[in-house]
């Protein structure tokens, strides 16, 4: 939340976050107004004796404006195309935007049946949805979710073009022109710029990378050289108790990125020891290691200098 609140978000980019339902109200209250909140799932009808489910009405009460439906992790639990489509239709009826997920397995991809598979999913949605104005289609190849694998930009574009063609034929030319079709599947800062240049890719459904500073680069994928805001790079001069306190505080703060430490009297070996067995602030709870030029805090490298005069350092 803090990272997004300080980020530079282009005027032509819509950012929607989908926290767990129990945290949705807190996230909504804490976020800047131009970042909207989505549910991760929704039930297929209204309030009632449906233990553990979240209705569209409940999501509206929490301040959500969207909901995901049909995510692969929900389909793995046995949700059929028909159930997913009913969820989408009810959420739309109650005024939520719907991010309708589709995607194929690795076996389907290898059998060259991707388009046929996702067309079946889309047809199920079309049987229930009458107005596509507030629908976003999210193509997430299941084989690329959380695996580090990703569809190549050309593979993703091919599927997105087929979705656009389906919209034109089965819904309307207007829906084909206006419905956003977004890609999800190990999207990161490195592949987002090239993916974003494809004609039929209108955005991204981001998983793990949304919890990292890389998310700001994904938001700015069409302008990768922009200053995206977010975390501030900080260097520490002096590794006494104040310097160590700053480093500890920054270790759990996504808005502060410690990039360097300078102390002319302390080696990386002793820095690690001082941080781990700190008699002032207590034993460090994370992981620590070092080499000749860095100390690694929770796996992150921090450059160490031993200059008497900090002016001699090219901080970067």
Phi/psi class of residue 91: alpha, beta or left (left: φ > 0; alpha: ψ in -120 to 50)? Answer: alpha
| 147-to-107, 144, 181 alpha-carbon distances in Å | 15, 6, 22
H or E, element range at 62:
helix 56-62
Cα separation of 188 and 78, whole Å? 29
The catalytic residue positions are 71, 140
**R_g of the chain, CA atoms, integer Å:** 24
- Closest to 132 (Cα-Cα) out of 159, 166, 167: 167
Cα separation of 180 and 164, whole Å? 9
| 127-to-86, 120, 140, 205, 282 alpha-carbon distances in Å | 9, 11, 21, 24, 61
User: What 8-state DSSP symbol labels residue 177?
Assistant: H
Cα separation of 9 and 35, whole Å? 9
Phi/psi class of residue 63: alpha, beta or left (left: φ > 0; alpha: ψ in -120 to 50)? Answer: left
Pairing of strands 294-297, 288-290: antiparallel
| 177-to-132, 133, 222, 274, 305 alpha-carbon distances in Å | 11, 11, 20, 60, 55
Adjacent-strand bridge partners of 235:
260
Instruction: Note the residue count of the chain.
Output: 316
């Amino acid at each position: 939340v803090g990272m997004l609140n300080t980020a530079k978000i282009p005027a032509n980019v819509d950012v929607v976050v989908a926290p767990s339902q129990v945290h949705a109200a807190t996230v909504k209250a804490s976020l800047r107004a131009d970042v909207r909140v989505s549910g991760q799932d929704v039930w297929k009808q209204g309030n009632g004796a449906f233990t553990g489910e979240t209705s569209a009405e409940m999501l509206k009460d929490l301040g959500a404006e969207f909901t995901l439906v049909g995510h692969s992790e929900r389909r793995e639990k046995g949700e059929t195309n028909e159930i997913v489509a009913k969820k989408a239709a009810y959420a739309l009826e109650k005024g939520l935007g719907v991010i309708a997920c589709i995607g194929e397995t690795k076996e389907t991809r290898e059998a060259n049946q991707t388009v046929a598979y996702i067309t079946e999913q889309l047809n199920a949605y079309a049987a229930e949805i009458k107005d596509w104005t507030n629908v976003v289609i999210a193509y997430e190849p299941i084989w690329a979710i959380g695996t580090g694998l990703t569809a190549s930009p050309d593979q993703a574009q091919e599927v997105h073009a087929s979705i656009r063609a389906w919209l034109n034929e089965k819904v309307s030319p207007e829906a084909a022109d206006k419905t956003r079709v977004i890609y999800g599947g190990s999207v990161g800062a490195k592949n987002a710029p090239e993916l974003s240049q494809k004609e039929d890719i209108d955005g991204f459904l981001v998983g793990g990378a949304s919890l990292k500073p890389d998310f700001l680069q994904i938001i700015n994928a069409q302008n990768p050289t922009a200053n995206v805001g977010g975390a501030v790079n900080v260097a520490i001069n002096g590794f006494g108790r104040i310097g160590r306190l700053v480093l500890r505080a920054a270790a759990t703060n996504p808005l502060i990125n410690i990039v360097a430490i300078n102390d002319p009297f302390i080696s990386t070996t002793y820095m690690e020891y001082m941080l781990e067995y700190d008699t002032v602030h207590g034993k460090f709870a994370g992981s620590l290691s070092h080499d000749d030029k860095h100390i690694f805090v929770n796996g992150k490298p921090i450059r160490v200098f031993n200059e008497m005069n900090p002016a001699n350092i090219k901080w970067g």
